[in-house]
Amino acid sequence: MVLAIVLMAIGVLHFIWAFSPWPFKDVVTFTKTIGGSDDGVMPSAPSTVLVGLALIGGAVLTLMVNESILLIGPDWLRLVGMYGLAVVLLARGLGGYFMNSGAASEFQRLNTFLYSPLCVVLAVLAGIVAVAASRR
């Protein structure tokens, strides 16, 4: 449930960020802190919404694999999706440290101590869910 809740919350944030720099006061602060760039150019709304949909999809998939909501599709496909989610989160978590090169210092700090470690923790949780589902 923790994995689903966190993925859902981050997904909703991405929907908000598609149209607003909230909770930051301006776009430049947002892009330095969240995007890592100093240029003040927000990512495109469609790409931000797509990331939000992927995160919410991961939350829904987690709930389906846990049999907390109605199951859609074959078991093997949900299981492959769950392992895929774990791999993608792990790749972002470990690969995120390479994103620090040339990024704004605000982003580097948060990426090092929050974004990347959070992705690794979420990847471990997704892996646990996938392995547990494999054993059923």
Tens of pLDDT along the chain (136 residues)?
999 999 999 999 999 999 999 999 999 999 999 989 988 889 999 999 999 999 999 999 999 999 899 889 899 999 999 999 999 999 999 999 888 888 999 999 999 999 999 999 999 999 999 999 999 8
Q: Reply yes or no: is the peptide bond before residue 23 cis, omega within 30 of 0.
A: yes
- 82 neighbors 52 (Cβ within 8 angstroms): no
Chain position carrying tokens 């093997």 = 76
Distance from C-alpha of 105 to C-alpha of 121, rounded to nearest angstrom: 23
pTM: 0.91
Do residues 72 and 80 touch, judged by C-beta distance below 8 A?
Answer: no
